[in-house]
Structure 1
Amino acid sequence: MLNAAEAAMDQVAEDDAERQRNRAMLYAPPGGRSRTPDGRRVRPPGMEMDMRRAQALTAQLSAEDARLTGGTTG
């Protein structure tokens, strides 16, 4: 799919410099991602989940699943 996008962009480019800019834009990593100096991703504040919250979420999902399928949890 990227090859098709690259070919379409090459057809409308006016010169080699524009083709290079188009390729750089096409293959650039997505923006808006924060990374530490060693390359690890940084999560936005408030995105962590402790064990208690994970267990509560699992219980909610199990109850919703039981409600939708008509089964019992356990």
Structure 2
Amino acid sequence: MLNAAEASMDMAAEDDAERQRNRARLYAPPKGANRRPAGGGRPRGAARVDASQARALMAQTAAEDARLQGRG
């Protein structure tokens, strides 16, 4: 659908500069839409994991993997 709109706008444009402006308007994000969350991309309540918790999680994952593959 965007290709049809772009083609229609290109045919109506008088020069390349107008075509570029039309494309920029067509593909621009909606007004008021943020591309990234204000918090830097990570939720503020993100859980922190220390080294011992990470090792325990890796051990659990390895045990579950072995169980699912029939080795345990």
TM-score (norm 2): 0.50
The structure with the largest alpha-carbon Rg is 2
Q: Relative CO higher for 1 or 2, CA cutoff 8 Å, sep ≥ 6?
A: 2
TM-score (norm 1): 0.49
